[in-house]
Each structure stands twice: as C-alpha cells, then as structure tokens.
Amino acid sequence: MSEEMNEVEVKIYTVGDLVKGVVTKVEEKQVIVEISDSKLGGIIPISELSSLHIEKASDAVAEGDALELEVLKVEEEVLVLSKRKVDAAKSWEHLIVKFENNETFEAEVKDVVKGGLVVDLGVRGFVPASLVESHFVEDFSDYKGKTLTFKIAELDKEKNRLILSHRAVIEEEKVRQKSEILSSIQVGQIIEGTVQRLTNFGAFVDIGGIDGLVHISQLSYQHIDEPSEVVEEGQKVQVKVLSVDPENERISLSIKETLPGPWTSLAEKAPKGTILEGVVKRLVSYGAFIEVFPGVEGLVHISQISHKHIGTPNEVLSEGEQIKVKVLEVNENDKRLSLSIKELDEKYTEVTHYELPEESKGFQLGDMIGDQLKNLKK
C-alpha cells in the first residue's frame, strides 16, 4: 500500500494539455524531453522551439532546461510537444497590457529581413523599415544584435500579427525635449546650435532637440540673396534667441547678433580723412547714402557732392555707382558716418597766391598804369 502511494501518479495527456519536462538530449532538428508524470517520452521539433526561424535546436535550448510545453500530438510511444505555443500564449498576455498602456520596452533585434527588422518577444515582432528611425536608413545590416526601445504600433492576436515601432519612441522623446526647451529657453540667451536645413527665407538651426528659424535678415549684417552664402548644413553656429512662442512651438533666432556689429571699431578702421571706395545705395533729396563696409552706410550731404550747385543728388550720381569718398566724421554710438565727394574732386583744388618774378619786383603801380596809357594813345 505504502509503495503504491509513493509511486508517481501517471497521467494520460491529450492534445492541448500543458506539461512540464526537462531537456535530456538536444539533437540538430529536435529536442528529447523527459516528462516525470507520463509513461511516454516527449519530443519538440525544431519548428516548435521558437517563434523565429532557427538553424539548429541548440540555438533555443540546452540539456537540463526545465520547460513548459503544450501537447500537439499523442503517438504510441511519444508526445509531440511545443515550447513556442506556450511562450506565445504568455507573451500575448503581457503584450496586450503593454499595448493598452502604450508602454515602452527594450528588445534585441534578432534578424534583418527585407522591409524591416525582426524581434523575438515570445511571438514574432516585425518592425517595418518606415518605423525604425525618424530619418531614412539605407542599410539596416548594423541593426542585428542591437537592443532598441519599442512601442507596439499594431497588435492582432488572432492573426498572430505584432507590429513594433522604434520611431514612435524617438518622436515621443523629441516632443518631451521640445517641451523642456520651450519652457526653459530665455529671450536674449546665446546658444550653440547646428544648421539643419536651408530655405530661401532662412536657416533652421537645431538647438538641442528643437529647431529655431534664423531669418535671412538675421544671418548677416550685409545683404545676402541666399542663406548658403554665409552658412551650410551641419555647421555649428552661435545663435541668440529673439523670441519664443511655446504654443506654436516657434523660436526665432539670430546669428548676426552674436557677431561684432559693422559699426564696431569703425573709428579705427576709417578715421577722419580716410579715403574709401563705396557703392551708392540710396539717393534722397538731401544727399546720397554710400555703403563703404558691409552693413555700414555713410551720408554724403548734398552740399558735399559737388563744387557746382545741384538741385538733386541724381543730377550727378546714380544708385549702384561705385565712387570714392572722404571721411569727414565718425560717430559709432549714433551709427553716423559723414562723407564727402567734392573734397576729392581734383578740378577744384585750392588756388595758391601768384608770386611775381624777381625781375618784376620794385615796379610801381603808377609805372604800370603809365605804360598802359601810352599804349592807348598810339
């Protein structure tokens, strides 16, 4: 009686039952399992070891492993078992919770296939190429073996369909970074950034997870037609924050305000009396504005244009004309530069006093008048 009670109860298993077994032998294409409460042995075909394709059984299990298995077939001397189906059933439960809670999790990329990546989560998870990164990736070969963070993009247990996205995690992180930057950035702050892309109206600069716009007028003190004249994509630049609009996620930046102004040290570069070459930029009723340095225009008052009387500057000047000017006065604080054209006009140099020849000296005025009268009488 006692010996019968000590004997292990032998169970009769049917298809669909769950059993526990220990791996006793690992062959290339199948695994032998001992089931303690069954008179039959068990085998696991290689196709039932993993949700992913494997080349040999040892890639999934080793001798001595204790496994939970599901009965697929009952034959005369053996139970055909599945590890894959038990793993999948457990995984689906966890995956459904993750999907419903929009959770982020890590997983290793097991394989790179046409169109994307494959991940083993107890069930086969597929990451389409468009959901791997937020930017285009030409070659995914380096991704095999990498551990990435994912969110579940699509889940259908009945169709055994699991679509994952790493891109969603990246974009969520960008949103979080944007929110942090927008709440911490201050107008007037100077930040290092990277030029991301150029447009005809300016340059977008990444300042740590969010792009700000440097309008073309804020790229340089001198006039430019294209942003590419002064910056290029990938270039590191210093920018000053001009304005922040958190609601619309817009940041206005300036590069030129981080640079020395064109009027800085102008008195040293062009002191009074300096002769400069410039371009006529604008003609107004009271004079002409001449650009003598990028971003620096000086005024030639109408009275300093010509020695001749003129009614309007355009009588002698035209916009776009290159001319030489002389500096009369520099005022850096008020950004005023007074210039003259007429002081360089060689046709109107100062007339020196005429000196009589030595032999003429000593003549009296009366002698000269007398000589003239004699000539008239003749």
Q: What residue has token string 């299990």?
A: 61
8 A C-beta contact, residue 241 and residue 224:
no
Q: Is the pLDDT of residue 261 over 90?
A: no
Name the percent of the chain lying above pLDDT 90: 65
Mean pLDDT of 360-374: 45
**How far, in Å, CA of 17 to CA of 69, rounded?**
8
What is the pLDDT at residue 262?
A: 82
What is the pLDDT at residue 350?
A: 43
- CA 222, distance to chain mean position in Å, is 25
8 A C-beta contact, residue 266 and residue 294:
no
**How far, in Å, CA of 142 to CA of 124, rounded?**
20
Structure tokens, 31: 């695994």
Helix spans in 101-200 (H):
167-184
Q: How confident is the model at residue 263 (pLDDT cuts 50, 70, 90)?
A: confident
Interval 2-43: pLDDT, tens = 344 345 577 888 999 999 999 999 999 999 999 988 888 899
What domains does the chain contain, in order, with CATH numbers?
17-82 (2.40.50.140), 87-170 (2.40.50.140), 186-258 (2.40.50.140), 266-348 (2.40.50.140)
pTM above 0.85, yes or no: no
**How far, in Å, CA of 164 to CA of 151, rounded?**
6
Could you give phi then psi for residue 334, rounded to 5 degrees? -90, 0
Closest CA to 79 of 8, 20, 9, 7: 20
Q: Is the pLDDT of residue 83 over 70?
A: yes
Q: How confident is the model at residue 221 (pLDDT cuts 50, 70, 90)?
A: confident
Could you give phi then psi for residue 23, rounded to 5 degrees? -70, 125
What is the pLDDT at residue 353?
A: 34
